[in-house]
Amino acid sequence: MYEFKLPDPGEGLTEAEIVSWKVAVGDTVAVNDVLLEIETSKSLVELPSPYAGVVAELLVAEGDLVPIGTPIIRIAEFDEPIAGDDSDSVQAVSGPVEDAPVNDGDRYFGSPEDGASASPVNDGDRYFGSPQDAGDGDAPHAPAPAPAQPSAMLVGYGAKPGAVARRARRGGGVVAVPETDQVQEAYDTDKPVSRHTDDVTPSEKLEDEASGEHLPPPGRPPTAGPGNGRPKAKPAVRRVARDLGVDLGMIAGTGPDGLITAEDVVAAASGGTQAPAGDQRLPLRGIRREMFRSMTASLAVPQATAMIEADVSGTVQLLDTLKKRREFDGLRVSPLLVFARAACLAISRIPEINAGYDADADEIVLHGAVNLGIAAATPRGLLVPNIKNAERMNLTQLAEALNAMVAVAREGRVQPYDLANGTFTITNIGVFGVDGGTPILSPGESAIMCLGTIRRKPWVVGSGEDERIEPRSVCTVSLTFDHRIVDGEMASRFLAEVAAIMSNPGLALMF
């Protein structure tokens, strides 16, 4: 019985997702037949079989996230009963290596078969003959005989199990103290200043791995294909449904890809517990999984939300002026642009808004740069690309950066670099026509500002005798903040500063 452990198909990966099995129990497989497809944070790859035999057991299921090195499949030798569990017999394949063909350069020059139509031209003085051409044709470099203890460790599996344990020092005997020990003593430290070579520390999981949706997924038809609305079932099952008077449209299939099975139909006919028809199950993959994870992680942070309703008429006027200026030719100029600039200015007064918590050092980090994230609904899903060093940009530069980012996001070409190291986020749900909301934090950031839609509303202006109601452009702005870092006063002051600039952009001159 062979057991195939999940290898690291990239470099230094720690886990992979089982996307689909290409074999089933009982299937006969040859060496290099594709067994399954897996997806890592780097790529989607097919894994070929190292063994020939009969599939005895699939040890992991599709959709599982599996650590590298986990046994994933058992393959029985042809004459082996599948029921037996003899997993300790995994061994390297052995064979007569010496008899196999070797690269002897030009010695094979010509056809592999003497006398074939292209007879070999053995001009022995040609360059690049085998280093041992003069020999009798034995392998120039037959591999050494198999090591006494065949390597049980595959290269792509990280640390060799058990190798971490140090061997005991032999008793007695005069041994020169290695230099590393001397250094260690000189520095009076308990920690080794160098490590024994097989004293391996397994690498940690890397954060911020590049991730993203693939271009055309090779050979994987979309699960919910161009639906013709017809429930998926084989003809025989349709017949059963017709006989039993069951509407297939009311049944949620339990077969692969939602296929309705005969059992499903019978269960439905007998009034058995029916799964609600039309349920669609979406796998948590790629960006969707990322959103799921980051939003779940966000809930670990105690957060609160404050709101302000701001008169942004001044900004609306400013935008009209800007749109006519040559510097903004070809650029989309929107209230978001002024909000972004206003936020950067307000952050310069309340730096805690643009901060994070460094758990390792147990310190709050007030970021020097504002890497301004803009939550974007892209074809790939929710993404928050950020503009690096937004605080250093004037309005024109910021407009260019925003326009470039929107274009990239719209084409679905956002790069991992654009997604990494954000420090503050703006989410503009106003574009969907809603008045406001209470966003939750992007992990690692201390605040997120949410913009509602800008509406013409009655607004009380003036005071005393002069008090009157005027139609104004009004917008609700909310700020969700990490209450461990930002208190209510800071949040309120930040919102008030932003609202003041939006109402009267000239105030920006005071920053």
Touching other proteins, residues 36-95 (CB under 8 A): 42-50, 92-95
Contacting other proteins within 151-170 (CB under 8 A): 151, 154-157, 166-170
Q: Is 222 in the site for other proteins (CB under 8 A)?
A: no
- Three-state SS letters, 414-427: CCHHHHCCCCEEEE
When binding is defined by CB under 8 A, the residue of 61, 83, 175, 236 that contacts other proteins is 175
Q: Is 139 in the site for other proteins (CB under 8 A)?
A: yes
Stretch that binds other proteins, among 137-145, 296-304, 308-316, 334-342 (CB under 8 A): 137-145
Edge-to-edge strand ranges of the sheet holding 44-48:
44-48, 34-39, 15-21, 65-67
Q: Is 379 in the site for other proteins (CB under 8 A)?
A: no
Nearer to other proteins, 92 or 369 (CB): 92
Give the residue among 19, 5, 2, 13 at the shortest CA–CA distance from 65: 19
Q: Is 239 in the site for other proteins (CB under 8 A)?
A: no
- Selecting among 196, 214, 367, 483, the annotated active-site residue is 483
**Token representation of residue 461:** 């202006």
Q: Using alpha carbons only, what angle is made at residue 434 by residues 430 and 438, rounded to the nearest 5 degrees?
A: 85
Give the residue among 459, 506, 501 at the shortest CA–CA distance from 477: 501
Q: Is 150 in the site for other proteins (CB under 8 A)?
A: yes
Are 478 and 437 a contacting pair, CB within 8 Å? Answer: yes
Q: Is 226 in the site for other proteins (CB under 8 A)?
A: no
Are 290 and 383 a contacting pair, CB within 8 Å? Answer: no
d(CA 309, CA 307): 7
Nearer to other proteins, 10 or 351 (CB): 10
What is the full DSSP assignment across 248-263? GGG----SGGGPBPHH
Q: Spell out the residues 6+ positions from residue 254 whose beta carbon is closer than 8 angstroms to its own.
A: 260, 261, 263, 264, 275
141: annotated active-site residue: no
When binding is defined by CB under 8 A, the residue of 61, 188, 207, 218 that contacts other proteins is 218
Are 76 and 53 a contacting pair, CB within 8 Å? Answer: yes
Q: How many residues bind other proteins (CB under 8 A)?
A: 79
Nearer to other proteins, 61 or 155 (CB): 155
Nearer to other proteins, 12 or 368 (CB): 12
Query: What's the closest the beta carbon of residue 247 comes to other proteins, in angstroms?
Result: 40
When binding is defined by CB under 8 A, the residue of 24, 147, 326, 360 that contacts other proteins is 147
Q: Is 412 in the site for other proteins (CB under 8 A)?
A: no
d(CA 497, CA 501): 6
When binding is defined by CB under 8 A, the residue of 25, 26, 30, 32 that contacts other proteins is 32
Q: Which class for 394: exposed (0-12), middle (13-18), buried (19 or more C-beta within 10 A)?
A: exposed
Query: What's the closest the beta carbon of residue 226 comes to other proteins, in angstroms?
Result: 19
Contacting other proteins within 96-135 (CB under 8 A): 97, 100-106, 108-113, 116-121, 126-131
Nearer to other proteins, 156 or 255 (CB): 156
Contacting other proteins within 188-207 (CB under 8 A): 197
Contacting other proteins within 1-30 (CB under 8 A): 4-5, 7-11
When binding is defined by CB under 8 A, the residue of 83, 186, 215, 300 that contacts other proteins is 215
d(CA 333, CA 134): 78
Residues with a known catalytic role: 483
